[in-house]
A = this chain, B = another copy of it.
Amino acid sequence: MTLKIFGHQNPDTDTISSALVASDIERQLGHDATAYRLGEINAETRYALDHFKVTEPELLTSLNSGDQVILVDHNEKQQSAEDIDQAVVTKVYDHHRIANFETEGPLYYRAEPVGCTATILNKVYKENNLTISKEMAGLMLSAIISDTLLFKSPTTTEEDIDAASDLKTIAEVDLEQYGLEMLKAGASTRDKTAEQLISGDAKTFDMGEKSVRIAQINVVDVDEVFNRREELEAAINAEIEAEDYDLFTLIVTDILNSNSKVLALGREFSSVERAFGVALDQNTAILEGVVSRKKQVVPNITKALS
- Residues of A in contact (CB 8 Å), total 25
B97 to A100, Cβ gap below 8 A?
A: no
- Bound state CA distance, A103 and B101, in angstroms? 11
A113 to B106, Cβ gap below 8 A?
A: yes
In the complex, chain B residues whose CB is within 8 Å of the CB of A132: none
- Bound state CA distance, A302 and B88, in angstroms? 15
| Segment 233-264 of A: residues with Cβ below 8 Å from B | none
- Bound state CA distance, A127 and B299, in angstroms? 31
Closest-CB distance, A105 to chain B (whole angstroms):
5
Closest-CB distance, A151 to chain B (whole angstroms):
17
Of the listed residues A100, A107, A127, the one surrounded by the most CB atoms of chain B closer than 10 A to its CB is A107
In the complex, chain B residues whose CB is within 8 Å of the CB of A97: 102-107
B99 to A103, Cβ gap below 8 A?
A: yes
- Bound state CA distance, A107 and B299, in angstroms? 13
In the complex, chain B residues whose CB is within 8 Å of the CB of A302: 104
| Segment 75-116 of A: residues with Cβ below 8 Å from B | 90, 95-113
- Bound state CA distance, A98 and B98, in angstroms? 10
In the complex, chain B residues whose CB is within 8 Å of the CB of A95: 106
A98 to B104, Cβ gap below 8 A?
A: no
A109 to B106, Cβ gap below 8 A?
A: no
Chain B's closest residue to A306 (CB) is: B104
Given A98-B98, A127-B127, is A299 in contact with B105 using a C-beta cutoff of 8 Å? yes
Given contact pairs A98-B101, A98-B109, A106-B112, a sample of 4 additional A-B residue pairs in the complex whose CB atoms are under 8 Å apart: A90-B113, A100-B102, A104-B299, A110-B111
